[in-house]
Structure 1
């Protein structure tokens, strides 16, 4: 089953500011893009670079490509049945506006054909919107419309505990 999922946020910020957020991924307390307080820490076996192995919780991947400040692609190694990648891209629109886009493109097989649409997708969507909220707050100092978790996401998180 193919999956194509995109989340993006238009930020009133210069591309280098948004790129600095991308480069902070997995840098412990300095990480200003990953919502670790709600979704667990993003960790790798070395600094962010091609070949770094890690992930968050049961979601595992390898850094397949990285252009600092611009683009990073992660190739899935887990959970079982996830075959593909996800990536962040920093897309400058003009001097003062940048689009931060996250794309997930994969094929799910086996049990993941059930678990993706029933559970993983909902957590993924909530996590990415939380990440984009962090980016907006970090670059603009404000967050007029914070993302809200659906009842279903709250139920899934309660069941996961």
Structure 2
């Protein structure tokens, strides 16, 4: 296999798959069903990047900051990952990556009634990058960890329980610490 084909090889994980239409992109889908109602989940999602945000897992990850809060065209992101709020509906928020970083694509949070008393949370990421494949694999690993922490938080909040951070594998803990050190504000 030549170098250029390796460079564009999709980065796979438990949640990531080849993109259905673009071989240079990776598609990552995380899902979680929680207790609770759709209105409660919509309220929790609407608080993201606000002073009242209890959904984003800041206990382990850089905060999600948006210059105008959760409003269309707000700019921001978490750490060095930069994006813009593209559109908002009561059960959906879509972000697009900006040119202020190595990523192209978009990501979307969605919530839907799974059954009475249960809500399905979903995060869909379509991403490509100018990063080397080994670096992008680490980005995908970090993304997966952040999303699972966020869904752990949603599950706890929707059940009215405190968040209990799951333990990290030693290898992932080292990767996450390195990321936090690189993302530290000057």
TM bucket normalised to smaller: 0.7 to 0.9
- How many residue pairs match? The answer is 157
Mark the runs of 5 or more structure 2 residues left unpaired by the alignment.
1-23, 182-186
TM-score for both structures, normalised by structure 1: 0.88
User: CA shift at 1:91, angstroms?
Assistant: 1.1
1:42–1:8 Cα change, 3 Å: same
5 Å-filtered alignment, 1:135-146, equals 135-142=154-161
SS of corresponding position for 1:22: helix
Q: Which residue of 2 aligns with 1:48?
A: 70
1:79–1:114 Cα change, 3 Å: farther
Contact 2:156/2:163 (8 A) holds in 1:
no
Please list every run of at least 4 consecutive aligned residues from structure 1 whose deviation after the TM superposition is greater than 2 angstroms.
78-81, 110-114, 141-152, 157-161
Greater helix content: 1
Distance in 2, matches of 1:104 and 1:47, equals 21
Contact 1:82/1:112 (8 A) holds in 2:
no
Per-residue CA deviations over 1:82-137 (Å, capped at 9, x if unaligned) read 110111001112331110001111222x32533111x2111111111110011111
Q: CA RMSD in A?
A: 2.0
Distance in 2, matches of 1:150 and 1:67, equals 36
Per-residue CA deviations over 1:52-100 (Å, capped at 9, x if unaligned) read 10001001100011013x0001101266331101110011123311100
Contact 1:87/1:104 (8 A) holds in 2:
yes
Q: Which residue of 2 aligns with 1:65?
A: 87
Contact 2:157/2:163 (8 A) holds in 1:
no
Distance in 1, matches of 2:170 and 2:100, equals 24
Mark the runs of 5 or more structure 1 residues left unpaired by the alignment.
none
Distance in 2, matches of 1:79 and 1:114, equals 21
Contact 2:35/2:118 (8 A) holds in 1:
yes
